Structure 1
Amino acid sequence: MYIEIDRIPVLDLLIPMAAFYHESGIKIVLSQIGSNRHFEQVNASLQYIDGIKLTIQSTTDAIGMPPELSKDIQFWGEIATNWKIEFIVAGVADESMFTWLQNQDYVDYLEGPYFGTAELPLLMS
């Protein structure tokens, strides 16, 4: 199970929160990492989380994916590899994007509307 956070809490809160979730086998994923200019904000917290998620826009041009996307994937993928955490790319909208992302290094998981809409299971009592 994963808990997804979109902001890094102050370390005084993150450290005990991470310990609590990790004791229960729950992983913490930081989403909304954006471009590499956000690295300074998350660097000190990477030792307490289990993954990072880069959400991409679902726009492509006639040639393929924007060049800055490759740079962001490489930048964050290398960070995930160095910290031994998972790297997730979200926002996969179609088959061409899926195919392109499968050929990128570092990506552990893909998410997006291409794979269908997530639904909670209906529990019968």
Structure 2
Amino acid sequence: VENYNTCYLFDQGSSIEWTPAADKLSSPAPGMKLASYPETYFGKKASVVEMDGTFDNIQELVYVESALSNTNTKFFGELTQAMLNLADAPGSNNGTGLMQTIAAFAIRAIYEKTAAMAEAKEAEAVASA
């Protein structure tokens, strides 16, 4: 997808499995596990981010958010804030909600980049007319 940059855990392009320390999150046993790794999908390079487990306290997501890079958020904590705003929605305390929120931020970023490019093209056309 043009203008899309993938989200990753800690180090882009690396294969990482991460289980946050039990004393940092109040997730039920066996806890939470995140992974990030490159993969080939239908012959094209892809980047995978996955999460297994749930959050008992969505506010603690800020700890996980600090390990994620390139989430297309406008500020640190926006991902956690968005998840808190949808706390009553199905999947809001697990990987489903997290991935949907990351996807929403990616779509927003693609839209903003595409709209800015269209505006610049239009301004250039007006200036050269």
TM-score (normalizing by structure 1): 0.27
Higher relative CO (Cα under 8 Å, sequence separation at least 6) belongs to: 2
- When Rg is computed on C-alpha atoms for both structures, the one with the higher figure is 2
TM-score (normalizing by structure 2): 0.27
